[in-house]
């Protein structure tokens, strides 16, 4: 079993936060497999020290610097940067079998049983269920497969510009060939599907094993109030506050102490005093990512359309405060 591993990827310090919470959640549920993370040179030295504490194997991959055909592929298809970095997981041939997991996933139960599955096993994508979602997949490292994937990337690119399009084109028999390669949806439960089929979520969501914070807004983009131990904006986020809450709970209780120890955040001194941690949290946010630009103004029809599609701007135009204002104005 030492030759099997969970593998994730983080190309910058922001995604490292996700990788750390993921790694920590796998440990929490007593995995017996190795934990491996692929990082790029952009990840800071201090963050690497923290990764060393959670992962068994921290690998720096630099596609641009490599001598192999990945570099050539990247020169021909510069838009595939992160995708080609993800493909590097096939080069980890010291492992006989791996489970790749996006850095924005969170484990809720032991999932070592995934290693009984064969390449390529994955769960359906909620947007197009004839495609698998590439946030969680079982695979077998192999240089031959790696090179074949790169060839396909060079020749055809990716129909969605990312790894999911490329991998679905490569493992194109997935939708029809072998039902054993279809992972149950609970191994990659995305926040979008919670909105789109609420009764199913109510019926089966309790069996969730992995949640995937798919989409633009990631857990680390929210603000967490350490004093009340709640994610801000939680009241509006009716559908999955418990998962966000859990992510932040692991982050503050298990990861922040490590970040402090490794000098990423200023001393969280004497235990984890509220003030000190709040300061630390905001500090990491600043270090990790500049604030995203404000969203463009959209018409109310467009907003309504997005709302109906489940794309609710909880923090902005559709925030609870704004909705309440609108309701109040109708009532008056």
User: Residue from 167, 210, 214, 258 that binds ligand UDP (CB under 6 A)?
Assistant: 214
Question: CB under 5 to 8 A by kind: which of ligand UDP, Mn ion, none does 10 bind?
Answer: ligand UDP
Q: Does 41 bind ligand UDP (CB under 6 A)?
A: no
Q: Does 245 bind ligand UDP (CB under 6 A)?
A: no
- Of the ranges 12-20, 50-58, 130-138, 181-189, which one interacts with Mn ion (CB under 5 A)? 130-138
Region 94-123 residues binding ligand UDP, contact defined as CB under 6 A = 102-104
Give the tokens for residue 219: 């857990």
Question: CB under 5 to 8 A by kind: which of ligand UDP, Mn ion, none does 13 bind?
Answer: none
121-127: list long-range contacts, CB under 8 Å, 24+ apart: 121/180, 121/181, 121/182, 121/183, 122/174, 122/181, 122/182, 122/183, 122/188, 123/182, 123/183, 123/184, 123/185, 123/187, 123/188, 124/182, 124/185, 125/164, 126/190, 126/192, 126/193, 126/196, 126/214, 127/192
What whole-number distance in Å separates Cα of residue 95 and Cα of residue 221? 33
Residue nearest to Mn ion (CB): 102
- Residue 114 DSSP class: G
- Residue 125 DSSP class: P
Residues 6+ apart with CB under 8 A from 235: 320
Task: Between 26 and 280, name the residue whose CB sits nearer to Mn ion.
Answer: 26
Q: Does 135 bind Mn ion (CB under 5 A)?
A: yes
User: Residue from 41, 129, 161, 215 that binds ligand UDP (CB under 6 A)?
Assistant: 215
**Strand ranges (DSSP E) for the chain?**
4-10, 34-39, 57-60, 97-101, 105-107, 121-124, 132-139, 189-190, 210-212, 224-225, 230-231
Q: Does 102 bind Mn ion (CB under 5 A)?
A: yes
- Residue 1 DSSP class: -
Strands 132-139 and 97-101 come out as antiparallel
DSSP 3-state of 121: strand
Smallest separation, CB 110 to ligand UDP (Å) = 21
Q: Does 104 bind Mn ion (CB under 5 A)?
A: yes
- Of the ranges 5-13, 44-52, 261-269, 284-292, which one interacts with ligand UDP (CB under 6 A)? 5-13
Number of residues that bind ligand UDP (CB under 6 A): 13
User: Residue from 12, 46, 66, 278 that binds ligand UDP (CB under 6 A)?
Assistant: 12
Q: What is the DSSP string of 24-58?
A: HHHHHTT--SEEEEEE-TTS-HHHHHHHHHH-SEE
User: Residue from 135, 141, 157, 205 that binds ligand UDP (CB under 6 A)?
Assistant: 135
Strands lying side by side in the sheet with 105-107: 105-107, 210-212, 189-190
Q: What is the DSSP string of 147-191?
A: HHHHHHHHHH--TTSSHHHHHHHHTTTTTTS-GGGB--GGGSEEH
Q: Does 163 bind Mn ion (CB under 5 A)?
A: no
Residue nearest to ligand UDP (CB): 102
Task: Between 135 and 205, name the residue whose CB sits nearer to Mn ion.
Answer: 135
- Of the ranges 24-32, 132-140, 174-182, 256-264, which one interacts with Mn ion (CB under 5 A)? 132-140
Task: Between 213 and 280, name the residue whose CB sits nearer to Mn ion.
Answer: 213
Task: Between 288 and 317, name the residue whose CB sits nearer to Mn ion.
Answer: 288
- Of the ranges 101-109, 167-175, 222-230, 264-272, which one interacts with Mn ion (CB under 5 A)? 101-109
- Of the ranges 11-19, 47-55, 219-227, 315-323, which one interacts with ligand UDP (CB under 6 A)? 11-19
Residues forming contacts to Mn ion in the complex (CB under 5 A) are 102, 104, 135
**Which residues are at the interface with ligand UDP (CB under 6 A)?**
8-12, 15, 82, 102-104, 135, 214-215
């Amino acid at each position: 079993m030492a030759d099997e591993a969970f593998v994730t990827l983080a190309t910058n310090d922001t995604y490292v936060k996700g990788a750390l919470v993921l790694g920590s959640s796998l440990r929490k549920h007593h995995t017996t497999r190795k934990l491996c993370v692929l990082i790029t040179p952009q990840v800071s030295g201090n963050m690497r020290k923290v990764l060393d504490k959670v992962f068994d194997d921290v690998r720096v991959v630099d596609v641009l610097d490599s001598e192999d055909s990945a570099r050539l592929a990247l020169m021909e298809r510069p838009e595939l940067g992160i995708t080609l970095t993800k493909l590097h997981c096939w080069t980890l041939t010291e492992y006989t079998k791996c489970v790749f997991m996006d850095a924005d996933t969170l484990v809720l139960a032991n999932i070592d049983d995934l290693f009984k599955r064969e390449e390529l096993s994955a769960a359906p994508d909620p947007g197009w269920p004839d495609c698998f979602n590439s946030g969680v997949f079982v695979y077998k490292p192999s240089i031959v497969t790696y090179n074949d994937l790169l060839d396909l990337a060079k020749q055809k690119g990716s129909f969605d510009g990312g790894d999911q399009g490329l991998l679905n084109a490569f493992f194109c028999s997935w939708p029809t060939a072998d039902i054993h390669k279809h992972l149950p949806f609970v191994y990659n439960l995305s926040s979008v599907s919670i909105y789109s089929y609420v009764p199913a979520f109510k019926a089966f969501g309790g069996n969730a094993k992995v949640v995937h914070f798919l989409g633009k807004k990631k857990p680390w983009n929210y603000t967490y109030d350490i004093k009340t131990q709640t994610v801000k904006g939680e009241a509006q986020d009716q559908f999955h506050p418990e998962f966000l809450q859990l992510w932040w709970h692991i982050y503050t209780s298990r990861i922040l102490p490590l970040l402090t120890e490794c000098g990423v955040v200023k001393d969280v001194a004497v235990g984890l005093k509220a003030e000190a941690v709040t300061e630390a949290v905001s500090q990491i946010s600043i270090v990790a990512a500049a604030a995203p630009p404000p969203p463009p103004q959209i018409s109310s029809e467009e907003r309504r359309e997005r709302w109906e599609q489940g794309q609710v701007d909880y923090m902005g135009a559709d925030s609870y405060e704004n909705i309440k204002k609108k309701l109040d104005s109708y009532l008056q």
